[in-house]
Chain A
Amino acid sequence: MFTHVAILLAAMAAAFALAKLAKLSTELSILAMALVGALAAGQGIPLRHLAEGSVAYLDICLIFVTATLFMNVVKEAGGIDYLVRKVFIRFHKRRAVLLVILMLLMLIPGALTGAGSVSVLVVGGTVALVLRGLGLKDEHVAAMVFLLAGLSAVAPPVNIWAMITTAGTAIPYVGFELPLGIPVLALGLFVTFYYGMRGEARDLGSVLATMPEPPAGMRAWRVGAPFLLLAAFIAVPRIWPFALPTLGLPIGFAASGFLAWALSPRKIDILRLSRETMDQLLPLLGTCIIVGILLQVMTLNGVRGLLSLSIISLPTVAIFLLLPVAMPLSEGILTFGGAAVFGIPLIWTLNSIGLNPVPALSGLSLLWMLGDALPPTALIGRLTVQSTGYAGRYWSFVKSCWLPWLVITLTGTLMVVFSKQLGALVL
């Protein structure tokens, strides 16, 4: 079976390479890879498996669509222009305070939803405008937004990688507050000041002159009310979890978007804006759908099992050495699927040698978040480029992450290696 599945893996890799050579998009190349994987395994075109895999990330796709539409409505209404001007006028002389506020703004949405993409979509664009006003270079702006969004996904209370792994290993999702919270805050401050103190702040007048004027009639309450409604959708189920039926975050974003549209001082053609939003998101949604299909086929033909076995069969030292590369790569290829394929057996393996799974999983989360900048999916990296308006080469902004990347990698890996000693953090 080993040889057979290894040949399937090679055939899938060759299909991907050929599709890329034929200049097909990343999404179509992954689809080709999945189809070849199924055909070579003698499964023909497995329609049910393709359909089933395609909806694996349906909930995340719905969040992307509704969150982006919400932010686009706020933007079109002039709310972002208004907000950026006010924040900049109020804090431009107190750079450190402003930077910490921006960091918290970035961390909160992802911490509450578990999706760094939500941080990027909801506040990434606004934060980027303020950072530019502080004189940061475009690639540093994108790097800072990406890294803080990634850390927001790691932050408690909701960490999807940890939740997927704990659900699959029957470990309760408890005791993660400090093992996740402490490194996220420490690394968040490092990232914020590493980039934030570099630029030379421009004078207020010239910055304001470059910023678009918000429409007449725009007021703080018009901008704030939709965000308050969204905050209520996120907070109420946690404060009174048994008082209401589960509505889900997409409904929260949709309702907040509707409110922003209703309160807009400008008339907004919502159908046109919805179409533009879908155009903007199509590559990202395509990636999520295709990755689900790929994982389904990899499970069907045994390639997933082979990859999983390869990781856990390594000697412990080799596992530790491989983590900084393998975990980000698995996230880059499979997004959250990496936690299911590698996280579950890895946690069992580490647990069996006496390591504490809670700090270990917290460390792994820090490594997985880095993979959101890596192809073929580059989920948060691509959203960052879209939301911040970064126009440079993609790899330039990724390269400018090198030092924080190294620090986060070291922190994550050491948390896994010394997870037993970090057990005191698990309350």
Chain B
Amino acid sequence: MTRLIFAKILAACLFLACLVGGGLEMRGLRTYKESLVKGPGVTGTGRLSDYLPALKGSWGDTNLYFLDSGKPGGTALILGGTHPNEPSSIVAAFVLVEQALPEAGKLIVIPHYNRSGSTATQPMGAYPQFISIKTGWGEQKFRMGDRLANPLDQWPDPEVYVHYPSRQMLSNVDMRNVNRTWPGRADGALAERIGAAAMELIRREKVDFVVDTHGAELLYPVTNCIVAPDQGASIAQLAALDLTATEFEVHVEPSPAKFRGVSHREIADHSEAVPFLLESPDPFLDQPTGPKTEALELDGKDEFLLAAARRGLLFTDYDEKGKSMEERAGRHISVSRQLAAQWSLFNPERIVAFSCPGYAEFVANGLGPYFRDPAAAPEGSVVLE
């Protein structure tokens, strides 16, 4: 056998191994379903396609959870998983559905706003496929997805993405970024249809304010903050002041008027609702980190980032304790609670109030106690996400 033939056989074997082995692993992520137990606050469920039938049967369709207090008031929409590679937002949304108790008005929670994106990891990102949180009954396992919609569901990308309706040009891959496709297009690409469906939900359910939860790099100036348009600036400022005085530092960033397609800009410009985008610092997302592991996502400890912090390169505090999932998911819930409180002060006729464990409880007890055991849950209360 010549060396060339041997090399070709070797290459073919490696190719087949990658195709089958890698393909099976990817299929495992695509088909994995997370278990979510509807908590006592949940009064109804729905699908995003209820607001845009064109989404039905697609990977853009996703579950909605209604937590209605039965008392008059306003409505808040909380989005988790806009960017599935920022999983603290998904973890927080799960805890809200399992633990939150509405006290006035109504909450609508979407744990996987970008369900398609949660079914694939990012090429060159070297992400773990799953993260698991230890609980008293076993492990609560989550998919670790990509920032963008899965190319299996929306492809090819254009050479340049022209945002609807502003016609602003954005990076071509951002056409699969559901936080660049607001306010959406009912007959557009999948990510645009998701935006259009969510806008219809906001209008039909008379949503008063929207909280879009995210993770952000520590090297990114817009981290540790609430991004708000002018309409929500006072509410965000008061919430930030209160939280900074009592629990953790958070500040407010204004929503840039020229940056199109993002929730904090387009929801404000195309509906009556007031949007807030929350960024909690997630070390996993930064470029200068060590290996991209599940542990890094969960505990947020990284020596490279620590070195960067010592050189003053980060835009938030960072030390040996890292930035744990408990802190990050807890921030989302505590900030959302505080935004609801401030909203209610400004809008007494549209009060939204709910109780739910947040930052202080997660940091003290870990996240485990706040996930319900699907095996012990009442019949009909387990939903596969």
**A residues less than 8 Å from B160 (CB atoms):** 114, 157-158, 163, 238
* Closest partner residue, chain A, to B227 (CB atom): A170
Interface residue SS majority, chain B: loop
Q: How many residues of B contact A (CB 8 A)?
A: 59
- Within B118-144, which residues are at the interface with A (CB < 8 Å)? 121, 123-126, 129
**B residues less than 8 Å from A306 (CB atoms):** 288, 290, 304
* Closest partner residue, chain B, to A52 (CB atom): B123
**B residues less than 8 Å from A375 (CB atoms):** none
**B residues less than 8 Å from A55 (CB atoms):** 123
Interface residue SS majority, chain A: helix
0/1 string, B271-315, CB within 8 A of A gives 1: 000000000000000111111100000000011100110010101
Contact A242 B188 (CB under 8 A): yes
Contact B188 A299 (CB under 8 A): no
Contact B124 A337 (CB under 8 A): yes
* Closest partner residue, chain B, to A294 (CB atom): B124
Q: How many residues of A contact B (CB 8 A)?
A: 66
A385 to B357, CA, bound (A): 64
* Closest partner residue, chain B, to A177 (CB atom): B169
0/1 string, B160-175, CB within 8 A of A gives 1: 1010100111111111
- Within A43-95, which residues are at the interface with B (CB < 8 Å)? 45, 47-56, 59
Shortest Cβ gap from B222 to chain A (Å): 7
Shortest Cβ gap from B249 to chain A (Å): 18
Among A47, A295, A313, the one with the most B-chain Cβ atoms within 10 Å of its Cβ is: A47
A221 at the interface (CB under 8 A from B): no
A52 to B292, CA, bound (A): 15
A211 at the interface (CB under 8 A from B): no
Contact B158 A242 (CB under 8 A): no
B18 at the interface (CB under 8 A from A): yes
Contact B174 A167 (CB under 8 A): yes
* Closest partner residue, chain A, to B216 (CB atom): A170
Contact A250 B156 (CB under 8 A): yes
Decide: A248 near B157, CB < 8 A? Known: A47-B18, A313-B313: yes
- Within A246-261, which residues are at the interface with B (CB < 8 Å)? 246-251
Contact A237 B158 (CB under 8 A): yes
Among B126, B292, B302, the one with the most A-chain Cβ atoms within 10 Å of its Cβ is: B126
B351 at the interface (CB under 8 A from A): no
Contact B313 A349 (CB under 8 A): yes
A24 to B166, CA, bound (A): 51
**B residues less than 8 Å from A192 (CB atoms):** none
**A residues less than 8 Å from B193 (CB atoms):** none
Residue among A113, A163, A292 making CB contact with B171, cutoff 8 Å: A163
A201 at the interface (CB under 8 A from B): no
B22 at the interface (CB under 8 A from A): yes
Contact A345 B121 (CB under 8 A): no
A5 at the interface (CB under 8 A from B): yes
Contact B173 A248 (CB under 8 A): no
Contact A173 B171 (CB under 8 A): yes
A100 at the interface (CB under 8 A from B): no
Contact B18 A51 (CB under 8 A): yes
0/1 string, A229-243, CB within 8 A of B gives 1: 000001001100110
Contact B288 A308 (CB under 8 A): yes
Contact A53 B171 (CB under 8 A): no
* Closest partner residue, chain B, to A248 (CB atom): B156
* Closest partner residue, chain B, to A50 (CB atom): B18
A–B Cβ pairs within 8 angstroms, 14 of them: A1-B290, A47-B17, A163-B170, A237-B162, A238-B162, A242-B164, A246-B175, A297-B126, A301-B291, A305-B304, A308-B287, A340-B287, A341-B287, A352-B313
A residues engaging B (CB < 8 A)? 1-2, 5, 41, 45, 47-56, 59, 112-114, 157-158, 163-164, 166-167, 169-170, 172-174, 234, 237-238, 241-242, 245-251, 292, 295-297, 299-302, 304-306, 308-309, 312-313, 337, 340-341, 344-345, 348-349, 351-352
Nearest first, the 3 A-B pairs at minimum CB distance are A51-B22, A248-B156, A47-B21
